[in-house]
Each structure stands twice: as structure tokens, then as C-alpha cells.
Structure 1
Amino acid sequence: MHPSRWAAVTSIAAKIGYTPQTLHDWLKKAEIDSGKRAGVPTEMAEKLKVLERENRELRQANEILRKASAYFATAELDRRPKP
């Protein structure tokens, strides 16, 4: 038995070849994913990341379309009427 959680993590990490901080982070993530600790579960964080990327791409596409629309509208106004 170890005197503290950190002592246990440090002892186990040394035996399996990882840093104590890495093992501690894995434990926290596992506790969050299992509902034993408050936080955003891994699956939800991954979905959020995908949605944020899609949102950024859509905003960029909208900006490109807005600029293209303004460009073509200006070009249409600049055209001289044909006799």
C-alpha cells in the first residue's frame, strides 16, 4: 500500500516505463470517461473537435463565397451595355 495516490502512480509509472504525469493524466481521463470525475468525456471532446473544425471550414467557405459574390456583382455593374 502506498501513502498517497501520487506515490502509487510514481511507483507504477517507473515499473511500466512512463512518466508519473502521463500515468496520472491517463487515470484522470479514465475517471472522467467512467463518470467518477467531473469533466468532458473523451468521446464528447472528440465530437466537439470535429464540429469545431467543420464550423471553421464552413465559415471560411462562406467568406470565400461572400467575396466572390461581391466581386462578380461589381464586375456586372462595371460592364458597359452593348449597343
Structure 2
Amino acid sequence: MTKYRINKLYIKNFKLVKEATVKFESTDIVVLDGPNGFGKTTIFDTLELVITGNISRIKDDDGRRTYKDILFCKDGDSSGEIL
């Protein structure tokens, strides 16, 4: 099995993030800690989106509108970047 290491995550115009770079130090364990609303879930969502192409925790519920139907870009802009 091939192992991959993510060193840096660049996010632009995604959810509430205007622009940010998250650097992962060269350790085997990364801990994200902070109060509610500080972006921990956004980082996980971004990583999952890059790796799998979707965010599995966001699903359709009885045909109702969910995050899948909502543009993920901040301020209604039609473009964003995750590198």
C-alpha cells in the first residue's frame, strides 16, 4: 500500500475561508484543536474533498436541499481553490 503525506493545504474561497494555508509538520500525528467555529471541520472537509471528490458527511435527506446543492464558495463567488 502506498503511503502519502500531506505537507501543506492551501484553501481559497471555500466555505467561510477567504484564503488560508495550513502546514502539517513532519510528524506522524496531527491534532486539530480549538473552539467551535474555528475551522477544524472545514479542514477535514477540504482534505476529504481533495482526496475523494466529495464530502461524505453531507448527504441528501429525502430529496431536500442540502450542502450538495449549495455553492461552497465564500461570498457567492463562483470560483475557489484547494491545493
Task: Report 1 or 2 for greater relative contact order, CA contacts < 8 Å, sequence distance ≥ 6.
Answer: 2
In proportion to residue count, which structure has more strand?
2
Which bin holds the TM-score, normalised by the shorter protein? Answer: under 0.3
The two structures have a TM-score, normalised by structure 1, of 0.25
Higher helix proportion (structure 1 or 2) = 1
